[in-house]
Amino acid sequence: GNSVTQMEGPVTLSEEAFLTINCTYTATGYPSLFWYVQYPGEGLQLLLKATKADDKGSNKGFEATYRKETTSFHLEKGSVQVSDSAVYFCALNYGGATNKLIFGTGTLLAVQP
Partner 1 sequence: ETGVTQTPRHLVMGMTNKKSLKCEQHLGHNAMYWYKQSAKKPLELMFVYSLEERVENNSVPSRFSPECPNSSHLFLHLHTLQPEDSALYLCASSRSSGGGSTEAFFGQGTRLTVV
Which residues are near partner 1 by CB under 8 A? 4, 31-32, 34, 36, 41-46, 49, 51, 89, 93-106
Between residues 32 and 80, which has the closer beta carbon with respect to partner 1?
32
Min. distance of Cβ 105 from partner 1 in angstroms? 5
CB of 76 to partner 1, least distance (A): 20
* First vs last C-alpha separation in the chain: 41
80 or 89: whose CB is closer to partner 1? 89
Indicate if the alpha-carbon torsion angle 72, 38, 97, 49 is positive or negative: negative
Decide the pairing of beta strands 11-14 and 107-112.
Answer: parallel
The C-alpha angle with vertex 89 and arms to 24 and 69, in degrees rounded to 5, equals 20
> Nearest approach, Cβ of 77 to partner 1 (angstroms)?
20
